[in-house]
């Protein structure tokens, strides 16, 4: 145990410069969902160099690398997302994005480098591994319906069958050198919906001859807040928000159409099933009152992410073994954000940790999706060591 710990720490330190260089290369070449063509080539090449059998044909721009240890052992999956965001970078990095209007503002460049770092470490002790590791580089985490579900449908967890899934996500609210761990529900189901309110247009001076879609839409916005405040147990987390409203053409014309786009988020799968009906009942009631019509398109998002306590306990044990007790921080409350790692965790025992990348001194304190989002790169070899050791422990 002590020897393995020393070797993993030594290898993470030895290869840290290459991990960081990979992160910076990827940061300069951000590509949005399902356009990760150059990213795919870079990752596939790096995985081949560490001895992985690489598959780039499983689905779209995904990359899957298999590192085979002793035959007959368990196969552990480690996932990294790949896609960037349509954000114009404002970090001031010397290695800032070279793709206009594109940025790794959610840390997926860090994820890719960290997971590759784990592959590099494990490749150098491959002959001692009691099983195999499948490195799953998944496109389109940021855009529904995401890439995880499609990859699972195409057999990413099969041949060889994955027994455990490991994942991580950067977190600038936690300092570098720590991981955040949360058992059970960690992230919400995040649905989205589009509503078209259809009224009847007319002159602004004669509103009584019209059905004002703006007034109807405004009433719907207000009424929907009753779901959280009056229809759901106040101890049950739920969010129903409208993020966009578009309608009308001029000050003196009553609008005949307004389009609203919103999101609904919950942590309870049973409540998740009820929310669409609650939303539509309110919309139908308001529209009926005013004589308007409506078209509702409701899209199911990623399911609730449930972390396995057993797998989290592996992460806890590994972090303490490698870096001491202060390296583990318990996350007290789940997030209402969504994450399609949840699909993997529904299929096999899995857990996603938060990788601390925060460091206020270097400006690494901005939230996800911020144009000035930064990460303390010391977290990369730290995270790689944890993933490598966790994969070995999960093999049993």
CA distance 264 to 281: 15
Q: Which of 36, 141, 340, 376 is catalytic?
A: 141
CA distance 47 to 61: 15
Strand-pair category, 189-198 with 257-266: antiparallel
Q: What is the DSSP string of 288-308?
A: HHHT-EEEEEEEEEEPPEEE-
CA distance 135 to 222: 46
Pair 134, 65: CB distance under 8 Å: yes
- Please tell me whether residue 378 adopts helix, strand or coil conformation: coil
Report residue 58 CA to chain centroid gap: 20
Task: Tell me whether residue 376 is one of the annotated catalytic residues.
Answer: no
CA distance 285 to 47: 56
Task: Tell me whether residue 310 is one of the annotated catalytic residues.
Answer: no
- Long-range contacts, 246-254 (Cβ 8 Å, 24+): 247/197, 247/213, 247/214, 247/217, 248/214, 251/204, 252/203, 252/204, 252/205, 253/201, 253/202, 253/203, 253/204, 254/199, 254/200, 254/201, 254/202, 254/203, 254/204, 254/207, 254/210, 254/212, 254/213, 254/214
CA distance 294 to 308: 42
**Backbone CA torsion sign across 197, 200, 206, 208:** negative
Structure-token pair, residue 349: 């025992």
The position carrying tokens 């969010």 is 239
Q: What is the DSSP string of 359-370?
A: BGGGTB-PPTT-
Phi then psi for residue 369, to 5 deg, are: 75, 5
Q: Which of 31, 81, 83, 365 is catalytic?
A: 83
Beta bridge partners, 234, equal: none
CA distance 374 to 82: 17
Burial class (CB in 10 A: 0-12, 13-18, 19+), 113: buried
Neighbouring C-beta atoms of residue 103, cutoff 10 Å: 26
Catalytic positions: 83, 141
């Amino acid at each position: 145990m002590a020897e393995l710990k020393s070797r993993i720490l030594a290898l993470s330190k030895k290869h840290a410069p290459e991990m960081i260089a990979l992160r910076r290369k990827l940061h300069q070449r951000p590509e949005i969902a399902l356009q990760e063509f150059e990213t795919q080539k870079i990752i596939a090449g790096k995985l081949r160099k560490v001895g992985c059998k690489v598959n780039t044909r499983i689905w779209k721009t995904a990359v899957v690398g298999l590192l085979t240890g002793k035959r007959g052992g368990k196969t552990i999956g480690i996932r990294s997302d790949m896609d960037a965001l349509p954000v114009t970078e404002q970090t001031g990095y010397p290695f800032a994005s070279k793709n206009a209007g594109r940025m790794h503002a959610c840390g997926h460049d860090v994820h890719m480098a960290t997971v590759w770092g784990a592959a590099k470490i494990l490749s150098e002790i491959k002959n001692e591994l009691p099983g195999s590791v499948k490195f799953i580089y998944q496109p389109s985490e940021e855009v529904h319906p995401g890439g995880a579900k499609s990859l699972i449908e195409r057999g990413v967890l099969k041949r060889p069958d994955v027994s455990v899934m490991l994942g991580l996500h950067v977190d600038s609210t936690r300092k570098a050198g720590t991981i955040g761990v949360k058992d059970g529900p960690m992230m919400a189901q995040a649905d989205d919906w589009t509503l078209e309110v259809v009224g009847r247009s007319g002159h602004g001076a004669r509103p009584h001859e019209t059905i004002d879609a703006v007034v109807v839409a405004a009433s719907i916005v207000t009424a929907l807040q009753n779901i959280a405040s009056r229809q759901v147990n106040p101890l049950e987390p739920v969010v129903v928000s409208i993020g966009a409203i578009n309608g009308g053409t001029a000050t003196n014309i009553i609008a005949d159409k307004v389009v609203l786009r919103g999101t609904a988020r919950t942590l309870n799968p049973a409540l998740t099933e009820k929310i669409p009906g609650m939303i539509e009942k309110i919309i139908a009631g308001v529209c009926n009152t005013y004589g308007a019509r409506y078209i509702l398109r409701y899209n199911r998002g990623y399911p609730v992410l449930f972390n396995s306590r057993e797998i989290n306990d592996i992460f806890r044990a590994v972090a303490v073994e490698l870096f001491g007790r202060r390296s583990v921080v318990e996350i007290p409350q789940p997030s209402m954000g969504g994450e399609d790692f949840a699909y993997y965790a529904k299929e096999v025992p899995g857990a996603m940790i938060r990788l601390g990348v925060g460091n206020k001194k270097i400006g690494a304190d901005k939230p996800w999706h911020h144009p000035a989002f930064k990460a303390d790169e010391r977290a990369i070899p730290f995270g790689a060591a944890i993933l490598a050791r966790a994969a070995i422990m999960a093999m049993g």
